[in-house]
Structure formats: structure tokens, C-alpha cells
């Protein structure tokens, strides 16, 4: 069981997802310990609040870096992790980029950020790294004072998420931290709302506030519930980078592509003006606790399907248990439903 050697490895042609590593040489040692040494940064950035030009209001944040290559088999881009950093009040950080390519930077405000809500933002840049390890060209980012600017986008979908005013201890209070907002964008070809890796979701902050920056289009936003409440879904029409409103929908007659109980956006939708989105979680009409034996199962998935007369269709609801194994759903259409309870990823003693 003893380790006899440790080699250092690098990837070419886009990283671990697109090529085999090339390994050579041994990792340096100091006595009986292996030495892991930080790379010197060759790319300095500042994370900035929304704005224009070279002025930068720094924002405490963290960002993830991905290196992307074109995937000929699946089409589109395949991206692999290439680093990341957290930045403090001055917004500054340095990272080491090892090869040329298309990089994606995903920005999120840090937990201790207290300013106006910011939307999770993805920025793409084509960066050239020389054989000597120096960044020699950057296409897609502006710079100021020796650093490239990673700037948050101004949100166009923002508001507050609250618990319903139902007389409980939580009535009307903001849903802090725990709620994730999942955006699905309307796919005209497939006649349904689809997930896209180009569209970023978000979370509420400590005051229940949320902010998203969405491209023009029609969206279905699902606000993830907790504390025994049900998810809330709203439909949004985004007209521009600064204008969004509640979207109008109509029944979707394409039952095969969109699902038995789906809707589609009304054609040629528009917004009279920008709206603030004040959302409340739903009061469930189906709820319970998922148990494995006598133990509550946290974060288990519940598949909800509806009988359409010929087969079981996915209802469009994504239901998961919370940290105490509680699940809840709001079923708004009469019908026959089937619930399939799936065990958590670490549960091997029980089946669906």
C-alpha cells in the first residue's frame, strides 16, 4: 500500500474532458513530504459592479474559471474547470492560466456582500498564453490599471421571495439563503421550456432578495421551497437587458413535446414597463415525509407524473425533500398522478 512515485501531469487540447494527460517527472519532495507549490499568477483581474468604461466599483465575490473547446460529437462547447478565486473588498485577484483558449468566468457575489442584489454573471474571453507562460492577448475583456475587469451584469429580473401569509410563524417573512431559482428558457423548436447552460440561475440573499440577468426571451422560473412549503413557478418575458415583466401564457396543444399539462408563451409578448417581482412560496396540497425505515431522508427526489389517458407524463414539477425529509407540492390540475420516491445518492439500502 505504499506510494512508490508521484508524477506531475498536464493536459493539452482543452483539459481533462478532451484529452489524456501527459505525465513526466516526479513531484518535488522535502524530506518525506511532497511539495505542492502555487503557480505565480499571470492574469490579474478586478471584479466590478455593473457599469461601463474603465471605472470599477469593486465587489467582494468569487469566480469560477472554465476552459472551453468545441465538441464535434455533441455540438457546442465542452468546458472543464480551470481554476477560480475569491476576492475581497478591493475586488482584486490573480490567477494562473496555462494555455490559450476560450475561457468562461462565472461571477457570484460573496456571502458577506451587502450591496444591491447582483445577478450571477458569465463572461467569455479568448485568451492567448505564450509558451513562456505569459498572457499576451485577451479578446473580450477591457482593462484598467494593470488588471482585466470582470463586471457583473445589471439584473433585469429582481425582487423578493417570501413565505405565504398563512398565519404561521414564518408568515410573510423573507426566504433567506436557501432558495434556488431555476430558469428554463422557451425552446420554440421543441415546444417546451428547457434547461440551458448559457442561462444562469441564482439564490436569495439574507433578506430574501434575488436578482437574475436573462437574455431576451420567455422563461419559466422555479423558486425552490423549504420548511414544508411548495415550489412556486412564475413565467417571465424578458424584452431587453433592462426590461422584464410577468409573461402571458396559453395552453400548449403540442402534447408530445411539451407535456400533458404544459403551457407556452403567447406569441409576440411584450412588456409595458419593467417590473419588480415579488414572489411567495406556494402552500402545498400534497405533503409528507420521506422515510428509509424510520429515518427521514434529506434531499431525496420525488418524480411526479400525470396520466394523460395513454401513458404517464412528467408533470413538470421538480420536487425534493428538505433537510428534514419533508416534501411538498402544489398540484393545480385535477387528474390521476403517480409519485415515485427516489432514495438519496448515499442511500444504498432502499430502492425507489
pLDDT digits (tens, 9 = 90+) for 222-251: 999 888 899 999 999 999 999 999 999 998
Asked which of 41-45, 76-80, 216-220, 262-266 is least confident by mean pLDDT, the reply is 76-80
Residues 6+ apart with CB under 8 A from 257: 190, 191, 192
- Is 185 strand, coil or helix? strand
- Supply the DSSP symbol for 289: E
Burial 326-350 (b: 16+ CB within 10 A, else e): bbbbbbeeeeebeeebbbbeeeeeb
Give CA–CA dist 193/190, Å, rounded: 8
Strand ranges for 119-194 from DSSP E: 121-129, 135-139, 143-144, 147-151, 157-162, 180-187, 192-194
pLDDT digits (tens, 9 = 90+) for 152-165: 999 999 999 999 99
Give CA–CA dist 346/344, Å, rounded: 5
- pTM value > 0.85: no
Asked which of 152-161, 247-256, 298-307 is least confident by mean pLDDT, the reply is 247-256
Please, which pLDDT band fits residue 256 given cuts at 50, 70 and 90?
Answer: low
State the chain's mean pLDDT as an integer. 89
pLDDT for 263? 87
pLDDT for 214? 97
pLDDT digits (tens, 9 = 90+) for 47-95: 999 998 899 999 999 999 999 988 777 667 788 899 999 999 999 999 9
Amino acid at each position: 500500500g505504499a506510494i512508490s512515485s508521484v508524477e506531475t501531469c498536464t493536459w493539452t487540447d482543452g483539459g481533462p474532458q478532451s484529452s489524456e494527460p501527459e505525465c513526466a517527472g516526479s513531484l518535488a519532495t522535502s524530506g518525506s513530504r511532497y511539495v505542492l507549490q502555487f503557480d505565480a499568477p499571470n492574469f490579474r483581474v478586478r471584479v466590478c459592479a455593473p457599469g461601463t468604461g474603465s471605472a470599477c466599483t469593486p465587489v467582494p465575490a468569487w469566480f469560477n474559471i472554465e476552459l472551453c473547446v468545441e465538441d464535434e460529437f455533441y455540438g457546442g462547447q465542452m468546458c472543464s474547470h480551470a481554476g477560480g478565486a475569491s476576492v475581497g473588498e478591493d475586488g482584486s485577484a490573480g490567477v494562473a492560466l496555462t494555455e490559450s483558449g476560450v475561457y468562461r468566468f462565472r461571477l457570484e457575489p460573496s456571502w458577506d456582500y451587502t450591496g444591491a442584489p447582483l445577478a450571477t454573471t458569465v463572461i467569455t474571453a479568448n485568451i492567448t498564453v505564450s509558451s513562456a507562460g505569459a498572457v499576451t492577448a485577451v479578446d473580450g475583456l477591457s482593462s484598467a490599471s494593470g488588471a482585466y475587469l470582470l463586471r457583473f451584469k445589471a439584473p433585469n429580473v429582481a425582487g423578493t421571495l417570501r413565505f405565504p401569509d398563512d398565519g404561521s410563524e414564518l408568515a410573510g417573512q423573507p426566504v433567506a439563503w436557501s432558495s434556488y431559482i431555476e430558469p428554463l428558457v422557451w425552446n420554440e423548436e421543441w415546444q417546451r421550456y428547457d434547461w440551458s447552460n448559457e442561462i444562469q440561475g441564482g439564490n436569495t440573499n439574507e433578506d430574501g432578495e434575488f436578482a437574475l440577468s436573462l437574455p431576451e426571451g420567455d422563461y419559466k422560473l422555479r423558486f425552490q421551497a423549504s420548511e414544508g412549503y411548495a415550489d412556486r413557478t412564475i413565467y417571465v418575458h424578458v424584452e431587453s437587458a433592462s426590461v422584464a415583466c410577468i409573461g402571458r401564457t396559453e395552453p400548449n396543444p403540442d402534447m408530445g413535446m411539451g407535456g400533458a399539462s404544459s403551457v407556452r408563451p403567447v406569441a409576440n409578448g411584450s412588456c409595458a414597463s419593467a417590473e419588480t417581482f415579488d414572489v411567495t412560496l406556494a402552500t402545498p396540497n400534497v405533503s409528507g415525509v420521506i422515510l428509509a425505515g424510520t429515518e427521514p431522508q434529506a434531499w431525496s427526489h420525488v418524480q411526479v407524473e400525470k396520466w394523460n389517458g395513454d401513458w404517464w407524463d412528467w408533470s413538470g414539477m421538480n420536487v425534493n425533500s428538505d433537510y428534514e425529509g419533508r416534501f411538498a407540492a402544489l398540484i393545480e390540475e385535477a387528474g390521476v398522478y403517480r409519485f415515485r420516491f427516489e432514495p438519496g445518492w448515499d442511500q444504498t439500502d432502499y430502492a425507489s
